[in-house]
Structure 1
């Protein structure tokens, strides 16, 4: 079992070695503004029996949760996903279906109210015919917090004698993202938590039988750095082994970079049953002048809302919305089914955006994405809310021929959209900046309120308080309709019968003449 705790500051920030106090029990230091990332690596035989059995039948499993609360991060921890619970899964190569049958019940037990039946019913297949670095299946569900996961993990991972384990899990309630990844190549399970860029104290405790490495790092631009590389420098300490921090500096290739711009989204009013989501971007300039770049937005849409691929196939319509093309949509997407009968989680959509031509000065611009709502289940009050997470917005740029991107210490792969691009693609991420955050940032810091990276639609539905009258009125309407039809049939029959009797008399008289 190995543990890595990393504090990453912004470019230009640094910490003197004398500011850190290293003892046999751990390390401590002053408060710094930084992002904190904790990674725990466990071998397969170190896991609880239930989890061990489940993972033995898995080829790849990546579970990624992102908080719906907007947060700031720094390089190189830039890879973004829409808020919610994401799962990317490739089953084992054997014909045994036990793992697939047990996967959804395990998700429910671990994360709580998860609307997952079986992978065959609830998951969608990912496109992996072009590039082999993608998993096979995908699942997504909005998830507010990981409170149920923490309760489950305490019972499964924390021995009764280890009080520090429960304390560490409680600290995860403030984390902005959590990744749980396993693959058969390494036979290891990696659990990675990320805290946002904020003031936090440098503090870590050494634990027996666990190798713990603590780093206090910041971005660096060394003179010899290559265009596709990032630089890091700072202090590293192995708890229980080092008596003082060691200086370090290294570079590594990275596919995820900072575009140095932001975006926000909102639904145009009135929303109706066919709402339009508007993306407002700060800059129309590509982040790189030396390679071809295209802007993209990646959505994970819950069951209650969907995009129509046929509507997004019209080039003239797309151009009017500042869109280039629909590059990917998960299949199938039922265009008529109500939300409450659907078994699949929803749909993933990758749209290429069409920014206006750039000039010397960057200009803000907008793109509009037409969406459609499904009929929702009845609710008290006659209205229900659908929360649509912010998309991941990025520029996809082609690296130079021959550029390789091996795994680096902060690599984050299997994000859903990265498997839709070639292995030499560099993702320049545009930071989500909700409008409320831009307008009320100072006020919110004073009051301690938060800003959500989601958009909410208020949808009219059947009011349960008035539903009883629907049954009564429907029954009365049916009875009245049946009575009216019966009366009309009786009237027609009566008139037709009378005519036959009357018309028979002249014929009889004529015959006797």
Structure 2
């Protein structure tokens, strides 16, 4: 087992190494405004048997959970996803127990996961090879069941009084996950640590108590603590790289912290500017075809600085770098986008959109929510911001509109259901090479994050410049947009049935009455038909005699 605890702070908040107190089992220091990231690397033989057997039937399994509560972060932890539970999965063998295990670990919030065949969507195989095979999403608002499962699985009751301290420390560490802003669980047989499960949690930028304790044997369990900050003035730093400097300590081995300086290409960055941000809200009244309006600040619609993406392949021209503003949505099955509507260039231009870059399949345009097993759909849209010259003089927010469509929902008491749609991820994607080739991948880094859904839709050397989300005042800090959907009122369903039967009966009676009126007025019946036939035959006989 290996633990890496990192406190990422602003350069101005660097602390004096002399203020750190390091012992054989702990590190203490002053309160530090920072983002805390904990990473736990577990070998397969350290996992419960059923979980190990599940992972052995996977080539890739990546779980990304993002809190609905707005949070702030710091370089280089800028990768963003819509709030909720994201799963990216590539099986090595047919496994019908994945959904059952997910519900056991993450609770009934994943009840929409039935089977991988019916609930998952397939990711495209004809674009780039670094994507997983399947995707699943659920608007899971809490990971409390996961905390309970991890406590029972990783922190068993102590067998002796000497192990009580270790169990107590483990339980305290796991309990902290309930306040995390993001949680990542990754297993990848193609990675360097192919026989290990990585669990990474991140907490929002805030005052963090600088306290790390470890009651485990340092000979078999390594606990590394880093106090790091970005270092833009680092020598030899290329425009596409980030510099990091700070202090590193291995608890149980080091008596004092050691300084470190390193650099790496950054795949995810924050868009430069004073306050680049966006918000998402449905236009009122919503109706059954609501429109999600994205409001972006002027800093957010300005392209990233040129030449700051990853290096171009040998022989290519740096001027080929292409940047485009995108919005990536994960829509639960209660709402969907119509790919045919979003294929009209004139319609897209009227909404400040450029193109529908991707939409997951299949999407049933008519099925109600309560008969579907599919989780929903993912949509990648390219936005069409104004040119730099036309937007630089304006201080107003720029808007883009995304038309969506609600499904029929199950009946409910009161005649309405409230649903929450997660904010999309908004970013500039910059690639130095044409998408028609398979360019070199960006080298991995200690803070790199891949398998986010949308990154598999771009070339491997694409750099993402993220726009921070900003919640509305009425949403209480949540990164979700609400819609109130009219449904059948269960309290009035009996009257609806009786009224429907009465209307059908009245309509049928009206049709019978009208037919009877016609019959009585014209006398057009079987006897009249026979009389008409006799007259016709008699006329034809007289015509023959005349001839």
TM-score over 0.5 for the alignment?
yes
Tell whether 2:239 aligns with 1:227: yes
Match of 1:217 in 2: 228
Give 1:151 shift: 1.7
What is the SS of the residue equivalent to 1:148? helix
Tell me if structure 1 keeps the 8 A contact 2:226–2:249. yes
1:299 Cα deviation (Å)? Answer: 0.4
Name the TM-score, length of structure 1 as normaliser: 0.91
1:110 aligns with 2:122: no
Q: What's 1:83 paired with?
A: 83
- 1:220-273 deviation line (CA, Å, top 9, x unaligned): 110211111111111111011111111111111111111032111111112111
Match of 2:342 in 1: 312
Q: Deviations over 1:405-464 (max 9, x none)?
A: 111101110000001111111101111112329xxxxxxxxxxx9500110011111111
Counterpart among 497, 509, 518 of residue 471 in structure 1: 497
2:542 alignment partner in structure 1: none
SS of equivalent to 1:475: helix
Residue among 444, 447, 452 paired with 2:478: 452
CA 1:399 to 1:242, structure 2 compared with 1: closer, same or farther past 3 Å? farther
**Which position in structure 2 is the counterpart of 1:441?**
none
Does structure 2 retain, via aligned residues, the 8 Å contact 1:12–1:219?
Answer: no
- Contact 2:169–2:214 (8 Å) recurs in 1: no
**The 10-residue stretch of structure 1 (240-249 or 492-501) with the greater mean CA deviation from structure 2:** 492-501
Which residues of 2 match residues 403-422 of structure 1 at below 5 A? 405-422=442-459
Q: Which of 369, 384, 394 lines up with 2:427 in the alignment?
A: 394
- The offset of 1:465, in angstroms, is 1.2
> What is the RMSD computed on CA atoms of the aligned residues?
2.4
**Residue 183 in structure 1 maps to residue 183 in structure 2:** no
Query: For residues 327-342 of structure 1, what are the structure 2 equivalents within 5 Å?
Result: 327-342=357-372
Query: CA–CA distance in 2 between the matches of 1:48 and 1:362?
Result: 60
CA spacing shift, 1:130–1:383, aligned 2, 3 Å:
same
Q: 1:174: which partner in 2?
A: 179
Which of 383, 396, 411 is 2:416 aligned to? Answer: 383
Quote the residue 2:312 is aligned against.
Answer: none
The answer as to whether partners of 1:234 and 1:247 remain within 8 angstroms in 2 is yes
Q: Count residues with an aligned counterpart.
A: 493
Alignment of 1:274 onto 2:289: yes
Partner Cα distance (1:304, 1:501) in 2: 58
In structure 2, what is the Cα distance between the partners aligned to 1:500 and 1:367?
Answer: 69
Q: Is the 8 A contact 2:416 2:484 kept in 1?
A: yes
Equivalents in 2 of 1:241, 1:501: separation in Å? 110
* 1:246 counterpart residue number: 258
Contact 2:13 2:32 in 1 (8 A): no
* Structure 1: distance between partners of 2:388 and 2:496: 57
**Residues 1:288 and 2:297 aligned together:** no
Three-state SS of the structure 2 residue aligned to 1:196 is: coil
Question: Does structure 1 residue 198 correspond to structure 2 residue 213?
Answer: no
Contact 2:327 2:380 in 1 (8 A): yes
Equivalent residues of 2:440, 2:460 under 8 A apart:
no
Q: Distance in 1 between matches of 2:182 and 2:359?
A: 25
Deviation of residue 481 (structure 1)?
3.9
The change in CA–CA distance for 1:486 and 1:168 in structure 2 (over 3 A counts) is: same
Counterpart Cα distance in 1 of 2:44 and 2:510: 73
Distance 1:496 1:320 in 2: 59
Q: Which moved more, 1:471-480 or 1:409-418?
A: 471-480
Q: Give the superposition deviation at 1:275.
A: 1.2
Task: Map 1:32-71; keep pairs closer than 5 Å.
Answer: 32-71=32-71
TM-score (norm 2): 0.86
Alpha-carbon offset, residue 361 of structure 1: 3.7
The residue that corresponds to 2:332 in the other structure is 302
Partner of 1:236: 248
Shift of 1:478: 3.4
1:446 corresponds to: none
Moved more, 398-407 or 297-306: 398-407
Measure how far apart 1:503 and its partner are: 5.1
Instruction: Look up the match of 1:128.
Output: 125
Structure 2: any 5+ residue segments left out of the alignment? 159-166, 308-320, 539-547
Secondary structure of the corresponding residue to residue 381 of structure 1:
coil
Q: Residues 129-168 of structure 1 correspond to what in structure 2 (within 5 A)?
A: 129-161=126-158, 162-168=167-173
Summarize the Cα distance change of 1:424–1:502 in structure 2 as closer, same or farther, 3 Å threshold: closer
Q: Distance in 1 between matches of 2:383 and 2:351?
A: 9
Per the TM alignment, residue 368 of structure 1 is displaced from its structure 2 partner at its CA by: 1.1
| Aligned residues of 2:169 and 2:215 also touching (Cα < 8 A) | no
| Secondary structure of residue in 2 paired with 1:42 | strand
Tell me by how many angstroms 1:474 deviates. 2.3
More strand by share: 1
Structure 1: runs of 5+ lacking an equivalent: 438-448
* Structure 1 CA distance for aligned equivalents of residues 511 and 392 of structure 2: 72
Q: How far off its partner does 1:332 sit?
A: 1.1
